[in-house]
Amino acid sequence: MSDALGGITDDRLLGGRVPLAQPARGHRAGTDAVLLAASAPAKAGDRVLDVGASTGAVGLMVAARQKAVRLAFVERDPDLAALCRRNCRQNGLEAEIFVTDVLDKAARRSVGLLPESADLVLSNPPFLEEGQARISPDAGRAAAHALPAGGLQAWLKACLSLLRPKGRLVLIHRADRLAECLEGLSGPLGDLSLRFVHPSADRPAIRVLLSGVKGSRASSKILPPVILNGPDGRFTPQAQALHLGEADLL
C-alpha cells in the first residue's frame, strides 16, 4: 500500500486526539477537513456518511466529538480505503467502509450503499472538473481534486440520494463555485446556511461551508464568516481553537 501511495505519514488532528495515517504526498487532510467536521451537527445514534472520505479524517474528527454516531465512509480508491480502515482501528471505532465510486448508482447499490440511509452526509467534493484547469500529474492528487465534466452536479445528486428525508447535508467547496453548488442543492434542500471562509479579514473568501436539510422549506441564512489568519499571518484564535478541537461551527 505504501508504495502505491508514495509512503505513509502518521499524523494527529484535533490537538493529538485523532491519529491519522495518510499519504506523504498528494491530497492530505488539512483545514478544509477540520472546518467540515466542526460544522457537522452529529447527534448520538446518527448514521453519518463521509462521502469522498479518503483516509477518513472528517468522519474520525466527527466521532471524536460525538462518539455515539454510526460512521460510514465512501471512498473509490482501494488503497485510501484501506488506510481509512486502519485509521478507524487506530481510533478504536467500528465503521462501514464502502469502496465504490459515488457517481455510479449501480456500483453504490452493489456494495450495499443504499438510498436514504444516512441521517447526516458530509462531503468535501473534488474542486475541479475536467477542462476547467490543469490537472496535477500526481494521480492521487488529480483524483482528489478533479471530477469528470459535469461531475459536481452528479456528486451532489448522489449525496442527496443517500440522505434520508429531513436528514442534513454539510459540504465544503471553493467559494467561487457557490452558484453551482446552490444550483444542485437549493431545490431538494431547505434550511440552507452558508458560511464563508477567508484567509484573512481583508481578502476574498476561498471556501464556503454549505448546510441544508432534505425536504425542508425553512428559509436560508448567511452565518458569520471564519477568518483563518490574523495580520501577523498566524491562525486567529477561532481558527486555532477549531484545529485543536476546542471550538465548533454549529
Percent of the chain with pLDDT over 70: 91
* Residue 184 host element (H or E): helix 178-185
Burial class (CB in 10 A: 0-12, 13-18, 19+), 147: buried
pTM of this prediction exceeds 0.85 = yes
Give dist(CA 142, CA 27) in Å, integer: 8
Give dist(CA 24, CA 45) in Å, integer: 34
pLDDT tens digits, 170-227: 999 999 999 999 999 988 999 999 999 999 999 999 999 999 999 999 999 999 999 9
> Domain spanning 2-171+178-184 has what CATH number?
3.40.50.150
DSSP, collapsed to helix, strand or coil, labels residue 41 as coil
